[in-house]
Amino acid sequence: MSGTDRTPSKSYGTAAIASSPWIVVSVGVGVMVVLLVIALGAYRGRSPAFDAQPRPPEPTLALPDPRPSPSTPATTASPSRRASPTPSGRVTGRPTPSRPVESRTPSPTASRTDDAVAVAPPSASPVSGRYRVVEQFHDGFVGEVLVSNASTTAREWTARLAFPGGRLGSAWIEGAPQGTARRTDDGFTYHSGEDLAGGASVALRFYVEHAASRPTSCVVDGGACRGL
């Protein structure tokens, strides 16, 4: 037996590593990961102050302050002054006006003229009217306003009559171009069809129902009718 050659025996661990190379690779990768983690921790531990430093501020452009500086007195315009001696010997400044002040006193003549214009009454119209009843009926009547123009020029005219509770049936002008009639709440208004010649007269007639023959108001161009 002593002369027999013995084959060296291999360990189980060495055989396993030799038969499975991926084990070696896995162990190497794990070791590298551990070393990387240790290196990062050491780097962070060495520079905490650098990470905590704030970011430098951005450069800014200073703008001028629009408010006046307290140290600079404000410039204000002051009136011109001239020195004048006083009884005590002191010199005081009095403002000198840039130009003499004009005194404006209203003229008595102008005031009287303005007052006369303000209180002057309007001129009366030369056109006037005279009222009368032409014919009476059981439930109405025919009335007339004789419109006369006392001026020398032709003029238009307007007549207004009030008959409370009544109703205008019709209105017309005798022997002349017709005008325009418009009913109101208590009567009617009649406007001339054409201008009335100077010195001429025209008869405005109308038929009114359910009212007294005497109107409560009769006006021609602002003047009250005669004959009432």
Higher pLDDT, 23 or 69: 23
Confidence of residue 110 (pLDDT cuts 50, 70, 90): very low
- Reference 225, options 195, 208, 204, 209; nearest CA is 204
Other C-beta atoms lying within 10 Å of the C-beta of residue 173? 18
Element (H, E) at 53: none
Question: Residue 105 — φ and ψ, nearest 5°?
Answer: -110, 125
Higher pLDDT, 42 or 181: 181
Query: pLDDT tens digits, residue range 36-45?
Result: 888 777 766 5
Higher pLDDT, 19 or 209: 209
Q: Which of 78-92, 124-138, 178-192 has the lowest mean pLDDT?
A: 78-92
* Mean residue pLDDT across the chain: 74
Higher pLDDT, 183 or 32: 183
Query: pLDDT tens digits, residue range 74-104?
Result: 444 454 455 444 444 454 455 555 555 555 5
